[in-house]
Amino acid sequence: MEVKTGETKAEKLRKLFAEKDLIRVVGAHDGLGAKLIERNGFDAVWASGFEIATSHAVPDANILTMTQHLDAAEVINDATSLPVIADCDTGYGNSNNVIHMVKRYEAAGIAAVCIEDKKFPKVNSFIDGRQELAPVHEFVGKIMAAKNAQQSRSFMVIARVEALIAGWGEEEALKRAEAYVTAGADAILIHSKAKTPDEIISFVEKWHRRAPVIIIPTKYPALTEDKMKQLGVKVVIYANQGIRAAIKAMDSTLAQIHKHGIAGLDGKIATMEEVFELQGMYRMKEDEKKFLHTASHDVRAVILAAGYNKNESSLVSLLRDAPLAMLDINGKSLLERNVATLRSVGVSDIYVVAGYQEDKIRVDGIKKIVNRDYASKHILHSLMTAEEALKGKVIVSYVDILFDHNLADRLLKCDDDIVLVVDSSFKKTKMRNKKLDLVAAETHPADGFRSLDTKKKNHLKRVGKGISEKEADFEYIGVSLFSAKGIKLFKDTCRAAMEQYRSKRFHEAADIERASFTDLIQELVEQGAKINLLEVTSGWMEIQTFEDYKRASKVV
C-alpha cells in the first residue's frame, strides 16, 4: 500500500533510517494489530513469524508456508500507513526460494524483508535444542540473491545473525555480520536469548556501527531505549508483546464469561464503537455518502394516506370498511405494494400519515403518524403532521399512486433540491373525471419526440388544478423528492405560510388549513425556488375511481 504522499513504504522506512535515532517497531500478525501499533505512535510494524504461527495455533518452526506468511503480511500492510518489515524466517528454502520470496513481498508493498542464517526448517530462537546455523557461504548466497531480485532501490534486505542463539559465540557473530553486509545486506539483526543485555551490548560495541543494527530485546527487557541510542542501535523490535497481551486478556475474559456470563464485562472489553472505528466502518460510511450515489439507505419516504375522497362515489362502498391505502390489489394492499417498491430501491425508513380508519392501516415495518384532523384539514396539514420525519433526503408520495421500481430508482438518482415527477401523456389518456394537478413548465415537451438526455433540466413555472389543459405541459403524478436542503426550505416556507394565511386564501385553497401540497409548491416557485421536473411517461397509475381499481387489478 502506498502512503498518501506518493512515497512508497520502502522509501518511508529508508527515511526513518536516515532521520531517526532509534526506530521503534512492534510485532503483529494481522491488520488489527497493525492498526493498534500505528494508533500508539510506533514507527513501523514487524510481521512476526512467531505471532503469525501463534495466530494459526501452530509452532513457529516453518510449519506455515511462504504464502501463508505473505498473506498475513499483506493484511498487516493494508491496514496501516506504517512501513512493514516482514520476518521471512530462513527465506523458505534455498536462494531460489529467496528470489521468489523477495519478488512477491516487494510486489505486495512490504518495505523490508528479514532472513535469518539458520537451516530450513528453522525453530523459534528461544527453543532449546536444534538451532542449526547455515554455512556462511550459503547464507551469503541468499543475501546476494535477495538484493539482486529486488526491483526498487529503497527495498531493504535485513540479515539476521543467529550465532549467539546457536551458542557459536561473539566472534562468529561478528564474522557473519561482516560477511552479510559485504554481500549487500542493508542492516544486521543480532539476536540473543541471554537474560541480561551484556552479550548484545558487547556485540554492538564491537560492531562499531558498520551497518545499522536491529535488536529484539524479548529476553533482556532491562536494556533501556536510552541505552540503545547510546550504543547506536538503530531499530528495536518489540516482537511479540501484542499477541501475548491479547492471549491474557481473552483468556481472563473467557474465564469470567464461563463463570458469570457477559453481564459486568462492560468497561473491561472494547466497545463495539471502538471496534467499528478500528474496522474503518465510520470512514466507510463517510465515503459512502460521497461516492455511493445509488445508496438510498439514508432516504426516507412519507406516504400521505390520511384523507378520504368523499366526492368519488364509485369507491364509497369499497372504502366503507377500510382506507384506500389498504385496498386489496390481487392479494396485497396498495400501501404494501408501494412499501415493497420503496424497499426494492433501498428506502426502508417509511412513514405513513394515516387519518380515515387509521387503525386499519397495518404494514410490517412502517411508522404510522396519525392526522386526527384529516376531515377538516387537507394534504399540506397531513404532511406537516409528519414534520419530525421530514429530514434528510425524503420522498413524499400520495397514497393513491401506484408506482414501479424504475420510477423510484430514477427519482432517487436526482440530485436536485426539490423534484416533482410529472407525466406529459395526460393529454392523450382518456379524460378522467377528477381535476388533475397540472404543471406548466419552463420547457415544453417536444411533441412527438422523446429525449434520451436525462441530464437536461426542466423547471416548474406553475402547478395547480386551475391551470387549463391548453396551458399545461404535464400532470403532477403525486410523487416528489426533496434533498435535506429542499425539505428544510419546504418546512420553513410552510410554517411561515401557516402564520400568514391562517384564514386567508392560499393559492388554490380557501385557507392554509385546506391547502394542498401543490399550493405550497406554487408558493415556493413564487418565492424564487427552483423546482425540478422528472419527466416520465409510464411506470405509475392512480387509483381514484372504481375503474382505476379494476385496471390496477388487471395490470399488477
What's the closest the beta carbon of residue 110 comes to Mg ion, in angstroms? 15
Binding range to Mg ion, per CB under 5 A, among 22-30, 49-57, 99-107, 182-190 = 49-57
The residue count of the chain comes to: 556
Rank residues 50 and 398 by Cβ distance to Mg ion and give the closer one. 50
Which one, of 230, 225, 181, 222, lies nearest residue 198 by Cα? 222
Indicate the residue type of 341. T
Task: Report whether 177 contacts 161 (CB < 8 A).
Answer: yes
Active site residue 89: no
CA–CA distances in Å: residue 130 to residues 119, 167, 179, 239, 310: 10, 11, 24, 22, 95
- Residue 239 binding: pick among Mg ion, ligand SPV, none (C-beta 5-8 Å cut-off by kind): ligand SPV
In the complex, the residues that contact ligand SPV under the rule CB under 6 A are: 27, 48-50, 60, 87, 124-125, 216, 218, 239-240
What's the closest the beta carbon of residue 195 comes to ligand SPV, in angstroms? 14
d(CA 389, CA 251): 47
- Residue 218 binding: pick among Mg ion, ligand SPV, none (C-beta 5-8 Å cut-off by kind): ligand SPV
What's the closest the beta carbon of residue 282 comes to Mg ion, in angstroms? 34
Residue 49 binds Mg ion (CB under 5 A):
yes
Rank residues 49 and 478 by Cβ distance to ligand SPV and give the closer one. 49
Rank residues 216 and 342 by Cβ distance to Mg ion and give the closer one. 216
What's the closest the beta carbon of residue 26 comes to Mg ion, in angstroms? 14
What's the closest the beta carbon of residue 246 comes to ligand SPV, in angstroms? 15
Rank residues 27 and 464 by Cβ distance to ligand SPV and give the closer one. 27
- Residue 125 binding: pick among ligand SPV, Mg ion, none (C-beta 5-8 Å cut-off by kind): ligand SPV
C-alpha dihedral (321, 325, 330, 336), degrees to nearest 10: -130
Rank residues 242 and 307 by Cβ distance to ligand SPV and give the closer one. 242
Tell me the residue nearest to Mg ion as measured from the CB: 49
What's the closest the beta carbon of residue 3 comes to ligand SPV, in angstroms? 24
Task: Report whether 468 contacts 436 (CB < 8 A).
Answer: no
What's the closest the beta carbon of residue 114 comes to ligand SPV, in angstroms? 8
d(CA 495, CA 505): 16
d(CA 496, CA 490): 10
Residues between 60 and 89 that touch Mg ion (CB under 5 A): 87
User: Helices 95-107 and 66-79 meet at what angle, rounded to 10?
Assistant: 20
Residue 542 binds Mg ion (CB under 5 A):
no
Binding range to Mg ion, per CB under 5 A, among 44-52, 128-136, 297-305, 326-334 = 44-52
Rank residues 87 and 400 by Cβ distance to Mg ion and give the closer one. 87
Q: Which residues on neighbouring strands pair with residue 44, listed in sequence order?
A: 25
What's the closest the beta carbon of residue 239 comes to ligand SPV, in angstroms? 4
d(CA 238, CA 79): 19
Look at the block and give the residue holding cell 560477511. 179
- Residue 91 binding: pick among ligand SPV, Mg ion, none (C-beta 5-8 Å cut-off by kind): none
Per-residue interface string for the shown chain with Mg ion, residues 431-450, x marking contact by CB under 5 A: --------------------
Q: Strands, DSSP E only, in 355-464?
A: 367-370, 393-398, 401-403, 418-423, 438-441, 460-464
- Residue 240 binding: pick among ligand SPV, Mg ion, none (C-beta 5-8 Å cut-off by kind): ligand SPV
C-alpha dihedral (518, 523, 525, 527), degrees to nearest 10: -170
Rank residues 122 and 393 by Cβ distance to ligand SPV and give the closer one. 122
Element holding 241 (H helix, E strand): helix 241-260
Q: Which residues on neighbouring strands pair with residue 224, listed in sequence order?
A: none
- Residue 544 binding: pick among Mg ion, ligand SPV, none (C-beta 5-8 Å cut-off by kind): none
DSSP 123-170: --TTSSS--PBPPHHHHHHHHHHHHHH--SSS-EEEEEE-HHHHT--H
Q: Which of 43, 60, 417, 548 is catalytic?
A: 60
Rank residues 113 and 389 by Cβ distance to Mg ion and give the closer one. 113
Catalytic residues: 60
Positions touching Mg ion (CB under 5 A) are 49-50, 87
